[in-house]
Amino acid sequence: MATQQTRNAHEAQGLSGYPRKRETELLHLGRRAWAYRDQASHFRRIIFWSDLLTASIER
């Protein structure tokens, strides 16, 4: 019951907290991605980020 109440409280705030959370998730993703040094993952990372960017633009 408490979890449902907190969830409703967060939703009542509107989108105020949401973009910041998304931002930190993306930052964390990027930090993880830079750990991989080999070429294959490097190109995979570029493709991954370009897909992410186009998806966010289309949204």
pLDDT of residue 53 exceeding 60, the answer is: yes
Task: Give the pLDDT score at 45.
Answer: 72
Question: Has residue 5 been placed in a domain?
Answer: no
pTM of the complete model = 0.24
Instruction: Give residue 56's identity as a one-letter amino acid code.
Output: S
Asked if pLDDT for residue 17 goes beyond 70, the answer is no
Q: What letter does residue 1 receive in the DSSP assignment?
A: -
The overall average pLDDT reported for the chain is 63
DSSP 9: H
Number of folded domains that form the chain: 1
Q: How much is the average pLDDT of 17-27?
A: 59
CB 42 within 8 A of CB 36: yes
Residue 6 belongs to a domain: no
Domain residues for the domain of 31 are 20-59
